[in-house]
Structure 1
Amino acid sequence: MTARILLVEDDAAIATVISTALKDEGFALDRAASIAERDQLLAGNTYAVMLTDVVLPDGDGIATLAAARARHPDLPVIVLSAQNTLDTAVRATEIAAFEYFPKPFDLEELVRAVVQAAGQRGEVAQSVEDASDALPLVGRSQAMQGVYRMITRVLRNDLTVLILGESGTGKELVAEAIHQLGHRRTGPFVAVNAAAIPRDLLESELFGHEKGAFTGATSQAIGKFEQANGGTLFLDEIGDMPADAQTRLLRALQSGRIRRVGGRQEIAVNVRILAATNRDLGPMIAAGTFREDLYYRLAVVPIELPPLRERSGDVPALARHFLTQAAGEGLPRRRIDAEGAAALERRPWRGNVRELRNAVYRLALLAREDTIDGDAVEAVLGAARDATTAASPVGLAEALDLWLRETRPPEGRLYDSAIAELERPLFAHALAETGGNQLRAARLLGINRNTLRKRLTDLGLDPEACARRD
């Protein structure tokens, strides 16, 4: 028997494209242009799959589905939406949607999803409880749609997620969203920054320690793994974790058990692991500074966050979001007009969303008028520098100062972080200039070859990759 599909879509052009593609695939198809027509068709017919838009002439296509799903609990639903926010993606997950497609969508991918859903009728996942309203991610760009879809795929499972992206792109916000909206949201969310903890204390921070385990251990301490039991442990800056801690972490991930420093008893822990890094782990694996087996344990589901320069169209929405946040924190209530938003959008934002947030808070504090326009942006933030032109180059000291203000290395790591940030391009340049010859590169730098080798290992730089640099 030919499988019949119900398409709920008020846009005739979109409906025609989808209908033609599904009929070519061999499906029969009914179309409803409103919620009322949808309910009438559902009352008298049986369907293999329903595709539904969200915004319909007579209401919300998701919010009004409860009664229809009660009568057809096994009906797979595919949600189509131009309201491309994390909220929409999560609402689709809450109704146990088989799939969510933001508009514009890939037609071939949509057809494949319908074919798969029609073949798995009756295997739709159970709906989750209402999720938190605190949705920390903002943006409707195509780049962010992929992030939203990946987030919704990991909400009902405990797969380990590795969040990748430049500093300031919002990696911790993604981790918080996965926890807040997932099935572990009633448990604790514990975050630990591997770069902010002295190396000799990191294992104790993660796994805890027994009294007398080392000098200064005057009492027993519970580590982050035990604190996160039943919830989520977020390991930030995983690329800065020393080798010995990597080994113990791998063992904990493999066994689900930890041992406090100085302890003999193994303790079972039930923790979901989310990790993040702004570093390229590939060269570090090649250099032996990051364990390959640990990488594969962490990167079961990688989610890569786009830098702000690749989703500049999200800047106005982010600016409005941060102005609302600023007002909630006691700063003057401001609004930004189209000219002001465009002025922000034109700026380079090397520090990504974090830099934009700080700039908007500065605007909220210092702008002379309640409405922020282009003149206010320039008056408070200064004239925008074009990141693509070398007409006004940024000096080394200025660039380092900008990096320090945007990155804000943790206390006790300021010197090491700054030196590493300077050494990385310096050593890469020397290796590129000498074709990867480490002896010549060391001479060019004026340092010992053994020192160069050690720093390359510490920084996770691959000499061959540096030599191939254009």
Structure 2
Amino acid sequence: MSNGSDQRTLTGGAEEVAGTTRVRRLLVVHGESRGALQVLDAEGPHVIGRAGCQVFGPLGLTDGEVSRVHARVLWDADARGFALEDAGSHNGTFLDGWRVQGRLPLQPGAVVRVGASLLLYEDVLLPAYAPLEPESQGLPGPSLGLGRVRAEVALVAPQPMPVLVLGETGSGKELVAEELHRRSGRAGSFIPLNCAAISPQLAESELFGHTAGAFTGAQKRSEGLFLAADGGTLFLDEVGELPLDLQPKLLRALARGEVRPVGATASLHANVRVIAATHRDLGRMVAEGRFRDDLYARLSGWTVRVPPLRERKEDVLALGRRFLTRAPQPPVLTADAAEALLLHDWPHNVRELEQVLTAAAVRAGPGPLRREHLPPPLMERLRDRVFPTPTTAAPAAPMPLEVMVPRDRPPGRDELHTVLTRLEGNMAQVADFFGKDRRQVYRWAERLGIDPDSYRKS
């Protein structure tokens, strides 16, 4: 073992770095055994199979589509990581959407499908100074990554120091700020301000207030948001957009607790806890002269990073089920739809997940939410897969053409093929679907190299 801050030990799946613990585990996130987990260590192989057929511990799944001995997870000493292999299962084992052939390495966030069950491989480094915090109403999500965020929130919330919350747009930075305020014990209000949404000319007045007559249109005195948050919390969202000439005044307010309204000659005292958030790289902005280094140093005394949704996939289905409960008749996620959700990268994070499932619930209606109800970029990840379905399952109703093909622009080849197939080459109906004359449809077909007659039933 080496000396210094990088001291670490490595034994199978458990790695410890000074002040941290690395956790590797498999968690069942979809299926009848949802919630079962196995912490992985060097005592493998860990066998995934059907419950009751053999003693598999937490990885014995209640799933009729899982074989007695379905797959194995083994420690690869050379690669210093875990790998997955199929054990001759009937329905196959899939890793990140691909059928497992041979032995494949498990990467953090890997999605494993066996039968109708979905498992996640998690590999997270947890700080020893902040144990994991359970889910809360204000900051929901069962993942280790979000549990780590809640732990940091619990630790720093009672302190008066500023906090900088970093994360991509839509990842939940404002929820973290609200949770910091809720757990701070401060009696005042939580006042949010989106710095990107205010005019640079009015930003100073918005923050610090103004006297009557201080500028054209200032007919009466305004206290500003800093004083409105006295005794509470001021949340500066997208603080990287704050005008450069206003930053020294914000620094003074942070350092001395004093604000001077526009047009005033005297400063006022305000007991305000400031939480700032941004998706930008403030360190780079400082280097480029677009953000003051002294303000950055003041704001970043404690930094909380909110991981994007693609780094905390355990939250995808948990949050998704919450969103689906808002539907008049909440649909149930099928295994293929759940797998497609887990394989998506969610570039717009939780906001995107909410919008996708709100729309999918409308398409699904009262029935189960299937892969076909999801947007094409998600649905097509598994388009070549054939999923086992129970023989008693009712056939799914065909998805309306309006959902599959837009009608407000000329169709592409695949789109025109879809419409012609569904309408069996009936050009009158195809023209009616697009709201065009039949001659226009024939022109599209000719340009796209499609023979409409071949779609007609003999």
TM range (shorter): 0.5 to 0.7
Could you tell me how far apart the structure 2 residues matched to 1:275 and 1:197 are? Answer: 15
* 1:147 alignment counterpart: 149
* 1:355 alignment counterpart: 352
Does the 8 Å CA contact 1:332/1:365 hold for their aligned counterparts?
no
Paired residue secondary structure (1:383) = helix
Q: Which amino acid aligns with 2:352?
A: E
Alignment of 1:169 onto 2:171? yes
Q: Which amino acid aligns with 1:187?
A: G
Could you tell me how far apart the structure 2 residues matched to 1:135 and 1:259 are? Answer: 38
Q: Which amino acid aligns with 1:355?
A: E
TM-score normalised per structure 2: 0.52
Does the 8 Å CA contact 2:239/2:277 hold for their aligned counterparts?
yes
* 2:180 alignment counterpart: 178
* 2:246 alignment counterpart: 245
**Where do 5+ consecutive residues of structure 2 fail to align?**
1-121, 383-458
**Offset at 1:137?**
2.2
> Which has the higher mean CA deviation after the structures are superposed, 168-177 or 153-162?
153-162
1:84-126: CA deviation from partner (whole Å, max 9, x where unpaired): xxxxxxxxxxxxxxxxxxx99989x76x999xxxxxxxxxxxx
* 1:307 alignment counterpart: 308
Does the 8 Å CA contact 1:160/1:273 hold for their aligned counterparts?
yes
Superposition map of 1:378-397 within 5 A:
378=375, 383-384=379-380
Alignment of 1:219 onto 2:220? yes
**Offset at 1:218?**
1.1
Q: Which amino acid aligns with 1:372?
A: L
Q: Which amino acid aligns with 2:370?
A: D
Q: Which amino acid aligns with 1:188?
A: S
Does the 8 Å CA contact 2:364/2:370 hold for their aligned counterparts?
no
**Offset at 1:340?**
2.4
Does the 8 Å CA contact 2:192/2:234 hold for their aligned counterparts?
yes
Could you tell me how far apart the structure 2 residues matched to 1:222 and 1:384 are? Answer: 54
* 2:296 alignment counterpart: 295
**Offset at 1:385?**
6.0
Paired residue secondary structure (1:350) = coil
**Offset at 1:177?**
1.1
**Offset at 1:346?**
1.4
**Offset at 1:226?**
1.0
Alignment of 1:374 onto 2:364? no
Q: Which amino acid aligns with 1:334?
A: P
* 2:74 alignment counterpart: none
1:133-190: CA deviation from partner (whole Å, max 9, x where unpaired): 9723232333223212111111222221100011111100100111123212x42110
Could you tell me how far apart the structure 2 residues matched to 1:384 and 1:182 are? Answer: 46
Counterpart among 337, 340, 343 of residue 340 in structure 1: 337
The answer to which structure has the higher helix fraction is 1
Could you tell me how far apart the structure 2 residues matched to 1:361 and 1:207 are? Answer: 40
Could you tell me how far apart the structure 1 residues matched to 2:162 and 2:229 are? Answer: 15
The verdict on how the C-alpha distance between 1:152 and 1:384 changes in structure 2, with shifts beyond 3 A counting, is farther
Paired residue secondary structure (1:216) = coil
1:400-428: CA deviation from partner (whole Å, max 9, x where unpaired): xxxxxxxxxxxxxxxxxxxxxxxxxxxxx
1:253-273: CA deviation from partner (whole Å, max 9, x where unpaired): 111011111111211111111
* 2:361 alignment counterpart: 364
The verdict on how the C-alpha distance between 1:239 and 1:378 changes in structure 2, with shifts beyond 3 A counting, is closer
Could you tell me how far apart the structure 2 residues matched to 1:291 and 1:174 are? Answer: 25
**Residue correspondences, number:** 261
Could you tell me how far apart the structure 2 residues matched to 1:274 and 1:323 are? Answer: 32
Superposition map of 1:127-146 within 5 A:
135-146=137-148
Could you tell me how far apart the structure 2 residues matched to 1:105 and 1:282 are? Answer: 25
**Offset at 1:216?**
1.0
* 1:284 alignment counterpart: 285
Paired residue secondary structure (2:313) = helix
Could you tell me how far apart the structure 2 residues matched to 1:174 and 1:203 are? Answer: 26
Superposition map of 1:66-81 within 5 A:
none
Paired residue secondary structure (1:353) = helix
Could you tell me how far apart the structure 2 residues matched to 1:104 and 1:271 are? Answer: 38
**Offset at 1:378?**
4.9
* 2:230 alignment counterpart: 229
* 1:6 alignment counterpart: none
* 2:451 alignment counterpart: none
**Offset at 1:370?**
4.0
**Offset at 1:367?**
2.2
* 1:425 alignment counterpart: none
Does the 8 Å CA contact 1:315/1:341 hold for their aligned counterparts?
no
* 1:460 alignment counterpart: none
**Offset at 1:382?**
6.1
Could you tell me how far apart the structure 2 residues matched to 1:177 and 1:384 are? Answer: 37
Identity, % of aligned pairs? 44
Q: Which amino acid aligns with 2:194?
A: N
* 1:323 alignment counterpart: 324
* 1:207 alignment counterpart: 208
Superposition map of 1:5-154 within 5 A:
135-154=137-156
**Offset at 1:384?**
4.4
Does the 8 Å CA contact 1:135/1:177 hold for their aligned counterparts?
no
Which structure would you say has the larger Rg? 2
Alignment of 1:271 onto 2:267? no
Does the 8 Å CA contact 1:319/1:356 hold for their aligned counterparts?
yes
The verdict on how the C-alpha distance between 1:304 and 1:333 changes in structure 2, with shifts beyond 3 A counting, is same
Does the 8 Å CA contact 1:346/1:384 hold for their aligned counterparts?
no
Does the 8 Å CA contact 2:130/2:148 hold for their aligned counterparts?
no
**Offset at 1:363?**
2.0
